[in-house]
A and B are shown apart, each in its own frame.
Chain A
Amino acid sequence: MTGPLLDIRRLSTHYVSARGTRVTRAVDDVTLSLDQGQTLGIVGESGSGKTTLALTLLRMLPPAARVVSGEMLFEGSDLLKKPEHEMRRIRGKRIAMILQDPMMSLNPLFTVGDQVAEPIRVHEGTPRRSAWNRATELLKAVRIAAPETRVREYPHQLSGGMRQRIVGAIAISCEPRILIADEPTTSLDVTIQAQYLNLLRDLQRSHNLALIFITHNLGIVAKMCDQVAVMYAGRLVEAGPVKQIYNAPAHPYTRALLESIPRLGDGRQRLTAIDGQPPDPSAPPPGCAFHPRCPKVMDRCRSEAPPEFRATDTQTSRCWLSAPAAR
């Protein structure tokens, strides 16, 4: 198959309030692509639209949301045009998702084995006995000790780290092509987080998965991702290879964010803080949404929202500073 595995073009998802009076541009004109075996990090804070983007991908938006424009090509065909029964075959089987809180993702009334086997039985119609065996194999794959005993246990009998692994096992059970992980390690301890991320990386290699991390944690991006896309107030403000963006961020928001994070080894140097706070997504500032906080703001930024520019041949940046004339 040629071309990217996932190709999102000019996607916009809006939330409309009950009376139609207020429109929130949760995702505004986002263009992204993901190749096989690649790891993409979508970085953003609250109100950036990253979770809405993930929900749009799986077509799991709440009733108030509407995809207003754009296309999402998965293996060449547009997910937005697919009928619901086809999407059901894709969700869990070809595109899987892991959420932040494993306790919410697991049903306390069913055993681990039942839950890991469920997607296999639903998507492949496998009989219970063989699905159960597959489940045990999967628990082994996510490095859970004594899987034969664990498979009969209930979620509350396991630790947080183990539960998150079970969630991972459920996600990869049908050999998906893409795994979306939405803040998968926020509730985990530091050492457990490291183990879990390593596990995800190994699973990616062994199953040839493409990974999408949705996170506010730039550390995860630095450790795990090849490509990064930075979102702010619903718009994609910068995208490109991780190393390049960390070394030479083109967008002032990315640069300010990278500079404001404390670094182990920097001692007690004062941090470079960003003024103000992330905007309310239902009432973003005019022009460039970042302009009230931007250290490099120009007059143009206050009234005109910049389009996406090519900052370098692999990096895009939605900033007037990256406009060809400015360079």
Chain B
Amino acid sequence: MNGTAANSRAASTVLALPSRLAFIRSEGFPLIPSLILLSIMLVAIFAPVLAPHNPEVGVLGDRFRPPAWQTGGTADHFLGTDHLGRDVLSRLIFGARISVVVGLMVIIVAGAVGTALGIISGYLGRWVDQVIMRVTDAWLALPALMLAIFLAAIIGPGISNIIIILAAVWWTRYARVIRGEVLSVRERDFVRLAVVAGCSKWKIMRKHILPNVVNSAIVLATLQLGQVIIAEAGLSFLGVGVPPPQPAWGLMLADGKKGLMAGYWWLTVLPGSCIMLMVLSANLLGDWLRVKFDPQLRQL
């Protein structure tokens, strides 16, 4: 056996990390973005424990309190309150839950559907490919956000509806990209050899094509996460997303904009910063993954 296996084992003992996590120490690993994303996810999971107040109920007498470090603020409402007296910090924490849930669910559903269609289209070719690709083309021609708004207007608000709508809009990107990958993977020798061995088309797609394109799907998913979150925020902002009183960051932005002129900056800047942090971190992580998995994926 060549020495690379021994070398990578040696490297990880020096750095005292189990070999599965050794990638953390590799060049350019976006440690901070990953920690940010991880924190957001933990916050989302432990929201009920972490949030000091009920995010949906407020005391009207306490409205428009600024953050604690400004005059008029209290430690009780560390990041202030909104127009209904609801605690901003608690709403941000629970809002993380919405963003994470919607974000993850959409990329999982869209990813699964899009990848499956991309594989079928790319591997089976001929008329199946034509049909799926033309549908994809037509779907892609529609502007994503407009389509989402249109569908939301028809189906109505609600978290599961949002997830369905966004997934329905976003699967096409996966289908296209994965199909491209499949076109090159299926020409590789080991796929030919699988045909020679007598494997059925479905077995080949499952065992040989899928594992070799899943990396691209993951990279695409991380890159898409940011877009999905912005879309969700946009939908909520426009009032066709997550319905009040559920706290979504986009909704908080929409509510908060009324207060901008009055100087209630925390109602927009704070949820906006959260959106920005999450999207930026997802993009940085996705970028790194893209280069790490395969420099040829740069065109993604």
Contacts and interface: CB of A to CB of B under 8 A. Distances in A.
Direct contact, A vs B (beta carbon within 8 Å): yes
Interface string B12-36: 0010000000000001000000000
Contacts of A128: none
A280 B4 contact: yes
A22 interface: yes
A280 B27 contact: no
Interface residues of A, number: 8
A18 B3 contact: no
B11 A280 contact: no
B11 A21 contact: yes
B174 to A, nearest CB: 32
A283 B27 contact: no
Contacts of B27: 18
B200 interface: no
Contact of A283 (B7, B11, B14): B7
A277 B2 CA distance: 9
Contacts of A21: 11, 14
Interface string A1-42: 000000000000000001001100000000000000000000
Interface in A30-83: none
Contacts of A208: none
Interface residues of B, number: 8
A57 B82 CA distance: 71
B2 to A, nearest CB: 5
Contacts of B2: 277, 280
A24 to B, nearest CB: 11
B6 interface: yes
A282 B7 CA distance: 9
A55 B216 CA distance: 35
A279 B2 CA distance: 7
Contacts of A277: 2
A282 B3 CA distance: 8
A282 B11 CA distance: 14
A18 B28 CA distance: 12
Contacts of A283: 3, 6-7
A22 B3 CA distance: 12
A135 B27 CA distance: 46
A280 B6 CA distance: 11
Contacts of A282: 3, 7
A251 to B, nearest CB: 23
Nearest to A22: B7
A21 B11 CA distance: 9
A141 B147 CA distance: 65
Contacts of B7: 22, 282-283
Interface in A274-295: 277, 279-280, 282-283
Contacts of A18: 27
A21 B4 CA distance: 14
A18 B27 CA distance: 9
14 contacts: A18-B27, A21-B11, A21-B14, A22-B7, A277-B2, A279-B3, A280-B2, A280-B3, A280-B4, A282-B3, A282-B7, A283-B3, A283-B6, A283-B7
Interface of A: 18, 21-22, 277, 279-280, 282-283
The list of the 3 closest CB pairs from A to B, nearest first, reads: A280-B3, A283-B3, A280-B2
Given A18-B27, A277-B2, A283-B6, 11 more contacts: A21-B11, A21-B14, A22-B7, A279-B3, A280-B2, A280-B3, A280-B4, A282-B3, A282-B7, A283-B3, A283-B7
